A and B are shown apart, each in its own frame.
Chain A
Amino acid sequence: GENVEQHPSTLSVQEGDSAVIKCTYSDSASNYFPWYKQELGKGPQLIIDIRSNVGEKKDQRIAVTLNKTAKHFSLHITETQPEDSAVYFCAARAMDSNYQLIWGAGTKLIIKP
């Protein structure tokens, strides 16, 4: 079945700098890759997603890139702000598991003032 690995587990960046979080997946048939943001004491919330027929997608300061050949996808946050501090999860939709999402372990992003 699908397996998703996420790195790093913790990322600390200076306010205004960029942050990059990377995920790899194992099932080449997976075709949908969302990113969720979880703030302290809250449930995860979708921030951006990408489908396997697209290489890159942007939404203001957030972008996601997908390399199907290497089976990895990344979240890029530019001009980081204090409110970007949170835990970020990547996921892949597993084609052999009734379309369930398989989740990465999460990255705690810390924005230093």
Chain B
Amino acid sequence: TQLLEQSPQFLSIQEGENLTVYCNSSSVFSSLQWYRQEPGEGPVLLVTVVTGGEVKKLKRLTFQFGDARKDSSLHITAAQPGDTGLYLCAGETDSSYKLIFGSGTRLLVRP
């Protein structure tokens, strides 16, 4: 069974602080995606990483795919209240047609 473990589950920080969310697995993924989900909405894709060691930046968000393609991290610099939401990582394997999601990290950024 392929599992993706996310940590932490909950994070409450002050505006301006930095944070890192981790996504770990014992399985190898051909790609890994990060989503953000707002209440009452479906997940919205932030980024897809496909190459081991790959780093992608999206404004204040930095995404990294582990060298072995088993883990990933999301780092947010100078968090803002608008970053509040549920962050989900999801992996896809070469032979699979489905996304395997982590349980999510619920982030609250206080003004």
Are A and B subunits of one complex? no
